[in-house]
A = this chain, B = another copy of it.
Amino acid sequence: MIARYLAPLAGTGALGLGDDAASFSPPEDCDLVLTKDALVAGIHFFADDPPEAIAQKALRVNLSDLAAKGATPLVYLLGLGLPDGWTEDYLARFTRGLAADQADYGLTLLGGDTVRAPERLTLSVTAIGSVPHGCMVRRGGARVGDLVLVTGTIGDAALGLRLRLDPELAGRLRLLEADREHLLARYLLPQPRMVLAAAARQHASAGMDISDGLAGDFAKMAAVSGVAIEIEAARVPLSPAARAACLADPDLLAVALTGGDDYELALAAAPSSAAALVAAGEAVGVPVTIIGRVTAGQGLTVTGPDGMPLDLGPGSFSHF
């Protein structure tokens, strides 16, 4: 099984997955950046999602962490817990998803382990990237006077999850079919912003990826940096689909701002560097949008069009 489905994904050093461990020669003058995200069926994805997409989501949530740290992906290890009743066809589709993403994102499988996880497909990916020595972008680097920015659009995945859980919601919101499909796709399959990793490394003073919701994750950046962050809700970039949903039901704005699974980059940068980040986004076709600023103090404030703080409820969605 390993030889047939997983070994073809293995790169140099993985020894065809036929050894106890892999050998890996790190690039010179670099720091390695390591991240490990676990995903469990029924918690982080739906058990009946397409296996290609499940595999790609497991890889991409880790790649998104690397992008936020300014890192270039190199290799990954896969912990694969297969539920009772798995089939070869399922595994073939799962590994096809991995193969496609390996080609797209330029990394190879270095090792891993396959075990029985009777009730639920259980995945654990350790992804390894590199940055020039000392150059990893940190959460805690936001400084008073910085602007804060996000890539892409916010809230699509959280709204997509709502649509997935409530098949009649799209009808009640009178969403176009294309809008519904856009939001569902954004939940199913994150788009890690690797194309902006180098720009984040060059220009950002702080960075993280938005996995637990824009509000909660910027609150974390503020706390670790020892600063306050003010975000203007009206500046937060929404897709046409998310905008349509929030117009139909204004309560959904809080879902978009706190819901999570965006896998966009949350960045802070000095004003001139923020302009460079916006330009870098234009160059690669991924919008980078200034949404607020860093001030002295602590905590996160999200203000509405009237300049008054919005009440976003519990704030950050936690997977756990």
Contacts and interface: CB of A to CB of B under 8 A. Distances in A.
A40 B31 CA distance: 32
A114 B124 CA distance: 11
A37 B20 CA distance: 10
Given A119-B120, A209-B20, A113 B79 contact: no
State the number of copies, please.
Answer: 2
A22 B15 contact: no
Interface residues of A, number: 58
A20 B126 contact: no
Contact of A124 (B65, B79, B116): B79
A31 B15 CA distance: 14
A182 to B, nearest CB: 26
A122 B122 contact: yes
A139 B71 CA distance: 32
A34 B77 contact: yes
A110 interface: yes
A35 interface: yes
Contact of A114 (B22, B65, B118, B320): B320
Contacts of A23: 31-33, 69, 131, 136
Contacts of A208: 19-20
Q: What are the 3 closest A-B residue pairs judged by CB atoms, nearest first? A: A21-B35, A124-B124, A79-B124
